[in-house]
Structure 1
Amino acid sequence: MSTTPRARARAQTMTDIVRIGREHLATDGAAALSLRAVARDLGVVSSAIYRYVRSRDELLTLLVVDGYNELGDEVDAALAGCTGDPVVHLRVLSRVVRRWALAEPARYGLLFGTPVPGYQAPAAETIAPGTRVIVTMQILFARAHQAGLLAEPRRALQISAPLAGDFARIRDEFELDLPDWLIARGVTFWVALFGAVSADVFDMYGADTFADRAEVFELQLDALLDMLGYRG
């Protein structure tokens, strides 16, 4: 269906607002984002910006969704051109997350860093884009399990009934064959991966601690895959 000139113009303005918002995010930080500053760079009077974005929080939400989707797109594109088994795909996914985060530290910080004071991301708009990479991980965990690449833990998993219900809900939502032990390990893989990336992006190691942080990250990936049960 074709769009009207007005609709195309509005879409272009929204694209420009997000682009300018990303620039201000990188230079000023999330807490200092200003619609007036965005309007100035857009070349319109400050009151005109409110026809498109009603508040700073709405601009932040646009930037959050934009960031999640760009990261998800980068992961999807890398996996589409990837050969090998699901564990190879998990390595590729993890490297893409790190590469994107290092290239976009301000946007990564908005998504996974310190919360912006006074801002609460609306779940209805951010959960779907925000879980894209996590859902892809879950799919790869299930495929690796089905391919016999992951060893079950020797010690039986002991979990409470409420947590078992949570795991069952995750299993049903994604329609994946994920045993409880793999869901538990998968959650650990997920949070540890982003923790490792955050340590690099936010320079938690210190400037002179490691000669090659990429090599450190590969060792971390090896450890995470061992934890997941990979014995390749």
Structure 2
Amino acid sequence: MNSAASSAGDGVTPKTVVKDTARRQLVERGAAGLSLDGVARACGLALTDVEAVFPHRDDLLTALVIDAYDASGAAMEQADEAAVKAGAPAGARLLAVTRALRQWSFANPGEFTLIYGSPVPGYHAPQDTVPPASRTPGVLAGIVRSALVGGELTPPRRAVPGPPLLLPAAVEAFGGVPEAPFSDIIERGIVLWSNLIGLLVFQVFSRTHDSVRDESAFFDYSIAVAAESIGLVVPSGEPTD
């Protein structure tokens, strides 16, 4: 009995079998090396069976992209929910959710690379991927907004000069531009988000292993430094578990 037939007998759908196989191939071959024919061979299905659920390679990539964004976003949301229930201040919530994203990223390097690595040649993500992709910055924005309302932010020493740097959609997603001295907090939040993803890229792709003694501790330190730019204090000495 092949793997696909065995999975079907266990009640697993062909779509699930195909996606699980494709995720393994993301690690082995990278997204650019993913093909429906290769996935079909690896999971023991006929190509026509794979095409019945994912007619084109890009359909499969889109499903994997959405799953990756949803899974990583859910990990952050669950961590934030637990922190809120524990009565954690905004800085501790920020540390908890960024740690959760880091843990997910190391546990799922192929999917992390798919959504945050180099673009896949010839693939253009459709609009369907936008809401899932918004979950990560949405968690960060929620914490920043809560800190602002709760008086947990220290006013910045210098505001962003010149006209607003944001698209209207970003302002709307945050709930409007706050009054001074926090009128540039959305811009600063996007900088925090960019720093988080860049830091994860460095760590997942082993760009810091030859210069940092303790990468987990360095991650926490980096988040604390980045949080200073929005006037948020991240507590030190927090347990890592």
Tell me which interval the TM-score lies in, with the shorter structure as reference length: 0.7 to 0.9
Where structure 1 has 5 or more consecutive residues not aligned to the other structure, the ranges are 1-8
Q: CA contact under 8 A between 1:25 and 1:33: conserved in structure 2?
A: yes
Q: CA contact under 8 A between 2:224 and 2:233: conserved in structure 1?
A: no
> Could you say which structure has the higher helix fraction?
1
Identity %: 29
Q: How does 1:71-110 map to 2 (within 5 A)?
A: 71-82=72-83, 83=86, 84-110=88-114
Report deviation, 1:40: 2.0
Q: How does 1:14-53 map to 2 (within 5 A)?
A: 14-53=15-54
Where structure 2 has 5 or more consecutive residues not aligned to the other structure, the ranges are 1-9, 235-241
Report deviation, 1:189: 0.4
How far apart, CA to CA, are the structure 1 residues paired with 2:119 and 2:169? 27
The residue number in structure 2 matching 1:3 is: none
How far apart, CA to CA, are the structure 2 residues paired with 1:76 and 1:184? 22
Q: TM-score, normalised by structure 2?
A: 0.84
Q: How does 1:189-228 map to 2 (within 5 A)?
A: 189-205=192-208, 207-228=209-230
Q: TM-score, normalised by structure 1?
A: 0.87
The residue number in structure 2 matching 1:143 is: 146
For these two proteins, the number of residue pairs brought into alignment is: 219
1:47-105 CA distance string (max 9 Å, x none) = 22211111111111111011111111111222222221222111111111111111111
Q: CA contact under 8 A between 2:91 and 2:233: conserved in structure 1?
A: no
Report deviation, 1:173: 3.1
How far apart, CA to CA, are the structure 1 residues paired with 2:210 and 2:45? 46
1:124-182 CA distance string (max 9 Å, x none) = 21000011011111111110111111112233432325x36x2x542323436644311
Residues 70 and 61 (structure 1), Cα distance of their counterparts in 2 relative to 1, 3 Å cut: same
Q: CA contact under 8 A between 1:142 and 1:176: conserved in structure 2?
A: no
Query: Residue 81 of structure 1 aligns to a residue in which SS?
Result: helix
